[in-house]
Amino acid sequence: MQDVLSKSATGLNLVLCALVIAVVFYVSVFGVFSESYLRVGMLLVGGLLILLAQIEVSQSLIGKLLALITAAFLGVAVYQYFRAAAEIETGLYFLTSSDIWLGTLGLIAVIELTRRSVGMVMACVAAFVLIYGALGQHAPGFMRHAGMTAEELIQVLWYSFDGVFGRPMATVVSTILIFIIFGAILEFLTIDKVLVKLALAATGRVRSGPAAAATIASGLFGTISGSAVANVVGTGVITIPLIKKRGFKAHFAGAVEAAASSGGQITPPIMGAVAFIMADVTGQPYLAICVAAAVPAILYYAGLFMAASSAARDMDLDISEQPKLSFDWREVAKIIVFMLSLTAIVVAMVGGSSPAYAGFIGVAFATVFGFALRPSLLTDTASWLKFIRSAGMISAQLVVIVSAVGIIIGILNLTGVGLRFASLVGSYADGQLAVSLLLMALACLLLGMGMPTVPAYLIIVLVMGPALQKLGVPIIHTHMFVLYFGVLSAVTPPVALAAFAAAPIAEAGAMRTAVEASRLALPGFVIPFAFIYQPAMLLGTGYPLVESAQSILFVALAVLHISRACYPAKGKARYAPIGLTLAFALLFMGPLVAWGAAVATIAMWSVVKFGTVILPEKS
């Protein structure tokens, strides 16, 4: 009986994955056919996909029964929504008691699907917020709200476009899923493996070798990957063993991959799918978001590259000459296909195409040229099945995640707790920008722990964003600040998802890997503050080019100081405090002091490199 159920689940799973891909292609080319049917239908299909995958692999009859019960909850709730869809869209539908009960079952199903998709942390957050919405009138202090009826709660969360089926869901199903398919196509064509090989070839003569290669490869792969954890798993299985083979300790190997993979979520053009949501939330053009994010992403990876190189300096590594990597014509062509596909996406958007249609063009380029290079893939059934399942399942997980985010957003809007939290932060900081930023950075790290990039960013920016904007920080700078700390929560203990994913691959302790990853990524924790104190570093935000160049120079020097201070050379640790002091001056003390710090930086690095004029070693 169980075997029959599992085989049936496998077949239905493939059919639904193919349906998701077909709908995504249709929407990308022809546009949204119906907001209600697209958003609600995608949740139904995505939820069933996740439950079928659980039934397929579960050996427990009880586990399969629970999955079927969840599917029933979701199915009846969606049926009730569709039954009244026309009236709901006009806002003229009044809920009955059965509507309320079935809507409640739908919310329970969403939370259970979230648990099955991304674990307990996100599910518990959504459940806690839902309970707070229902019972928050009894909460203490500023958390108390005026209270609401069950009808008001379910109306907003299930039977409207302000809850589960709100703007995040709309953005994901109409824009982002085509880029998930784009990433799956590149994996299908094995372009991801060629990118890793390219990174290894580019860093072959560098002492840190594979550690530097992991940084580059994860950055390249991160431009198309929607998840830091997926990035770790995708490239880490190749890079982490190579880093260990070079002589690095296991926890360091895992930390490099975790920090590098997290950086993919802040790297244009896709930024872990956040770029499109940020454009939608801020009202800024997508390309403006990409231009603003470019320099900080480069500086983050430069800092990581420097930290890995500095750490390698005094380690006993195997620096014997590595075998030279050669590329055949097909591998070179794959790299060209990757670049052409990304270029096609950007050119299409510059030409006025929608992001979804530009993503479709990128998929078309990659597919046509990829199959021209490897025509045998056209008849490779196993690879096709893997691609269909991969694209469908990742899409399903993302849809379920944003449905849970919709619950949180709906409650925040209904209760106004986000604005009250922002006011509380402002009152504690007493109008002091530096104190406000520190409080917000800490809150962002706490709120983002254990969450994927998209929900972390959305929840944090809704709760914390208003406080920054009240202090006069421009909207793009606000959202970038929040995004960075949401992303870096993936390497910040105690819940560091990217580091915890890398640790088993490296065969290292999870917490030790997370601490080392935080150390490597330390410049990334400072760069968001530069958005506020050196705002011209974000290109395309209205500052003169000369001012932008000056800010980028100051931040670049500060990042290098911090990276070197994290791993000072043997016998040169006395220079670390000086470097950190100069980094502080470069970032926060204004242009005049910063230029003096820049000159002092060049002088200090000359001393460190060529002699010991100051602070000589004790005899």
Contact 161, 35 (CB under 8 A): yes
* Phi, psi angle pair for 270, to nearest 5°: -105, -35
271 vs 584, residue with greater confidence: 584
At residue 606, the pLDDT reads 82
At residue 350, the pLDDT reads 77
Instruction: Give yes or no for residue 17 having a pLDDT over 50.
Output: yes
Quote the percentage of the chain above a pLDDT of 70: 89
CA-CA distance, 40 to 89, in Å (whole number)?
13
At residue 50, the pLDDT reads 92
At 136-191, the pLDDT tens digits run: 888 877 778 778 888 889 988 998 888 899 888 888 888 888 888 888 888 888 88
Among 24-33, 219-228, 318-327, 569-578, whose mean pLDDT is lowest? 318-327
At 51-105, the pLDDT tens digits run: 988 887 777 778 788 888 999 999 999 999 888 777 776 666 678 888 899 999 9
56 vs 555, residue with greater confidence: 555
Burial group, residue 86, by CB count within 10 angstroms (0-12, 13-18, 19+):
exposed
User: Which distant-in-sequence residues (6+ apart) come within 8 Å of 508 by Cβ?
Assistant: 249, 250, 251, 253, 254
| Share of the chain residues as helix, strand and coil, in percent rounded to the nearest 5 | 80, 0, 20
Q: How far is CA 314 from the centre of its chain?
A: 33
**3-state DSSP call for residue 448?**
helix
Distance set, CA 7 to CA 12, 75, 438, 527, 597 (Å): 9, 21, 53, 50, 67
Peptide bond into 494 cis (omega under 30): yes
Give the tokens for residue 224. 């198309």
Instruction: Give yes or no for residue 326 having a pLDDT over 70.
Output: yes
At residue 613, the pLDDT reads 42
Instruction: Give yes or no for residue 447 having a pLDDT over 80.
Output: no
pTM: 0.77
**3-state DSSP call for residue 470?**
helix
At residue 614, the pLDDT reads 43
Confidence of residue 26 (pLDDT cuts 50, 70, 90): very high
Confidence of residue 608 (pLDDT cuts 50, 70, 90): confident
At 189-208, the pLDDT tens digits run: 888 778 777 777 776 666 66
User: Which distant-in-sequence residues (6+ apart) come within 8 Å of 401 by Cβ?
Assistant: 114, 117, 118, 122, 452, 454, 455
At residue 615, the pLDDT reads 44
Contact 358, 348 (CB under 8 A): yes
Q: How many CB atoms lie within 10 A of CB 59?
A: 8
Give ∠ CA 548-554-555 in degrees, rounded to 5: 90
At residue 224, the pLDDT reads 65
At residue 272, the pLDDT reads 67
216 vs 37, residue with greater confidence: 37
Sign of the CA dihedral with 105 first, then 111, 112, and 114 last: positive
At residue 71, the pLDDT reads 92
Instruction: Supply the mean pLDDT for the chain.
Output: 83
- What radius of gyration, in Å, describes the C-alpha atoms of the chain? 25
At residue 122, the pLDDT reads 79
Beta strands in 171-243 (DSSP E): none
